[in-house]
C-alpha cells in the first residue's frame, strides 16, 4: 500500500486566456520563460516525494501530453514511481467526456485502485504556487479529517470567483458555497484537496448516482458532505495565484520580476520542467550585443538581444533586433521583434514575427470590441505564428489571432480594441 498519490485536474479549457489557450490546454500555457503552468503543481508533487501522479486531460491535450511525457523530468522513473496521462474514455456509453471535476476522478477510480493509497491529493494543474504538501498532510492527520481543503483569504471583491468556506474555531468547515456573489466569508478554496481514499470513493459513487448533480467538487460533492463528514480548512499563507485571465497572467509575470515583494521566486522554488520538449537542454546561453540594454527582466536560454528590454519576460529563442524596444511584455518562444520596433504591455505567443519599424501597444485604452470582458486593461495579444509587416502599428486591447499574415490586416494602423483574424484557414503546429 502507498500512503498518498496525487491526481492533477489538467483538462481546463482556459477560455479567459483567449487565444493563448486556443490550441493548448490551460495548464500547458507557457509561464515564466522556460516553464508551463502545470510545472508548478508537478514540482510541488515531486518535492513532497509523492510517488504516483495521474494527470487528467481533456481539452486539446496534445502539447500537455508531450510535455508531461513519462514524468521523468519530475523524477517519476523507477519501479516505485509512476506518472500517467489519463484522458477521458471517449466512446464508452457512460463516460464520453468528463462531466465535471468529480466525474473526472470518478472515471479514474480504477487507476487509484492499482496503487491502493490511504489518501489522495486532488490538485488543479493551472495555478502558480509553491506548497509543502507534507505540512497539509500532517494537518489532515492531526484532525482525523475525511477531507482537508487548502484555503486562503482573498479580497472581498473576488469571492464570487471561488468556493468559499465558513469554519468553526477548530477550522472544521461548517458551510461551503461555490462562486456566490453573497458569500458568507472571504476564505477561499485553492483547488487543493486531500481525501481519505475510502471517503473519496464513497462520495464519488454517491455523486455519480445523483441525476441532478453537475458532478463537481465545489458545486456538489463538498457542500453535500459538510454536515455529515469531517471536512477541515488548511490555511495557506504562502504565494498562490490563479492565472486564468490575461490580466492575471500578465500581472503574475510582473510579480515574478520582483520576488522580494511578491513572494514568487522562480529561482528559489526549484521548479522543474521538461527540458527536452523545447530543446532547452541544448540551447546556448542568452547572448547580447554591445547595443543591448536589459533592465529587470527574465531572459531565457537561446535569446539574442540587440535592442532594449525592460520589465519583461522572454522565453527561449527570442530575438530582439537592433533599435527594438520591449517594455512590460511577455514574449514566448522564438518570437522575433524587428529593427526599431516598439512592443509595450503585450503578450506575443510562440513564433510571432514582428517586422521592422512597428509599434505595438500604443493609443487609447479602448476595450476590445468583441471581447471587452477579456481585454480592457490595455494588454495586446498576438497568437502563435502571427506576422506583423514592416511599419504597422497595433493599439491597446487588440487580439491578433494565430497565423495572421499581411493580407489579413484591414490596414496598416490597427486601432485599439480591434480583433484581427486570418481570412483563410491555415494549419498551425501544436506545441
The mean pLDDT of 357-373, rounded to a whole number, is: 95
Please report, for the domain that includes residue 234, its CATH number.
3.90.550.10
**E strands within 125-182?**
127-129, 147-153, 163-167, 173-178
Asked if residue 270 belongs to a domain, the reply is: no
Closest C-alpha to 216, from 183, 177, 253: 177
Domain boundary among 228, 261, 294: 261
Q: Judge contact between 125 and 38, C-beta under 8 A.
A: yes
Asked if residue 430 belongs to a domain, the reply is: no
Model pLDDT for residues 24-56, shown as the tens digit of each residue: 889 999 999 999 999 999 999 999 999 999 999
Domain range for 399 is: 278-420
Sequence-distant (6+) residues with CB within 8 A of 289 are 304, 305, 306, 322
What is the predicted pLDDT for the residue at 147? 98
**Co-location of 123 and 221 in the same domain:** yes
**Co-location of 246 and 173 in the same domain:** yes
What the block records as the C-alpha cell of 24 is 493548448
Half-sphere exposure of 414 (CA within 13 A, CB side): 30
**Co-location of 98 and 139 in the same domain:** yes
Crossing angle (nearest 10°) for helices 133-142 and 38-47: 60
**Co-location of 253 and 284 in the same domain:** no
Model pLDDT for residues 152-165, shown as the tens digit of each residue: 999 999 999 899 99
Model pLDDT for residues 254-307, shown as the tens digit of each residue: 999 998 888 999 989 999 999 987 778 788 999 999 999 999 999 999 999 999
**Co-location of 242 and 306 in the same domain:** no
Asked if residue 267 belongs to a domain, the reply is: no
- Total domains present in the chain: 2
Residue 429 pLDDT level (bands cut at 50, 70, 90): low
3-class SS at 215?
A: coil
How far apart (Å, rounded) are the C-alpha atoms in residues 135 and 147? 15
Alpha carbon distances (Å) from 40 to 45, 84, 158, 353 = 9, 17, 23, 29
Amino acid at each position: 500500500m502507498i500512503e498518498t498519490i496525487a491526481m492533477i485536474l489538467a483538462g481546463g479549457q482556459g477560455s479567459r486566456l483567449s487565444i493563448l489557450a486556443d490550441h493548448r490546454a490551460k495548464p500547458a500555457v507557457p509561464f515564466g520563460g522556460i516553464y508551463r503552468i502545470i510545472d508548478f503543481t508537478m514540482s510541488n508533487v515531486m518535492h513532497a516525494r509523492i510517488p504516483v501522479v495521474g494527470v487528467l486531460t481533456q481539452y486539446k491535450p496534445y502539447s500537455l501530453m508531450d510535455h508531461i511525457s513519462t514524468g521523468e523530468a519530475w523524477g517519476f522513473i523507477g519501479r516505485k514511481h509512476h506518472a500517467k496521462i489519463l484522458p477521458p474514455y471517449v466512446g464508452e456509453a457512460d463516460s464520453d467526456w468528463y462531466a465535471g471535476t468529480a466525474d473526472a476522478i470518478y472515471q479514474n477510480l480504477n487507476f487509484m485502485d492499482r496503487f491502493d493509497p490511504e489518501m489522495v491529493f486532488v490538485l488543479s494543474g493551472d495555478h502558480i504556487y509553491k506548497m509543502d504538501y507534507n505540512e497539509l498532510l500532517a494537518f489532515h492527520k492531526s484532525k482525523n479529517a475525511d477531507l482537508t481543503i487548502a484555503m486562503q483569504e482573498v479580497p472581498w471583491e473576488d469571492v464570487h470567483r471561488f468556493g468559499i468556506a465558513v469554519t468553526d474555531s477548530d477550522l472544521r468547515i461548517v458551510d461551503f458555497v461555490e462562486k456566490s456573489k453573497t458569500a458568507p466569508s472571504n476564505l477561499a478554496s485553492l483547488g487543493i484537496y486531500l481525501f481519505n481514499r475510502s471517503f473519496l470513493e464513497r462520495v464519488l459513487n454517491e455523486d455519480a448516482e445523483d441525476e441532478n448533480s453537475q458532478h463537481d467538487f465545489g458545486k456538489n460533492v463538498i457542500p453535500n458532505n459538510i454536515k455529515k463528514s469531517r471536512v477541515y480548512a488548511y490555511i495557506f499563507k504562502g504565494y498562490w495565484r490563479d492565472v486564468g485571465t490575461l490580466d492575471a497572467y500578465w500581472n503574475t509575470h510582473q510579480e515574478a520580476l520582483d520576488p522580494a515583494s511578491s513572494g514568487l521566486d522562480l529561482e528559489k522554488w526549484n521548479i522543474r520542467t521538461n527540458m527536452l520538449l523545447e530543446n532547452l537542454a541544448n540551447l546556448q546561453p542568452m547572448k547580447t550585443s554591445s547595443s543591448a540594454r536589459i533592465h529587470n527582466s527574465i531572459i531565457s536560454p537561446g535569446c539574442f538581444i540587440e535592442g532594449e528590454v525592460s520589465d519583461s519576460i522572454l522565453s527561449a529563442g527570442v530575438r530582439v533586433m537592433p533599435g527594438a524596444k520591449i517594455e512590460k511584455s511577455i514574449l514566448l518562444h522564438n518570437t522575433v521583434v524587428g529593427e526599431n520596433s516598439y512592443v509595450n504591455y503585450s503578450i506575443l505567443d510562440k513564433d510571432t514575427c514582428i517586422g521592422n519599424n512597428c509599434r505595438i501597444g500604443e493609443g487609447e485604452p479602448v476595450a476590445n470590441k468583441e471581447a471587452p470582458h477579456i481585454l480592457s486593461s490595455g494588454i495586446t495579444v498576438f497568437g502563435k505564428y502571427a506576422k506583423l509587416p514592416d511599419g504597422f502599428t497595433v493599439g491597446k486591447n487588440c487580439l491578433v489571432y494565430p497565423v495572421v499574415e499581411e493580407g489579413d490586416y484591414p490596414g496598416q494602423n490597427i486601432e485599439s480594441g480591434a480583433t484581427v483574424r486570418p481570412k483563410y484557414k491555415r494549419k498551425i503546429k501544436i506545441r
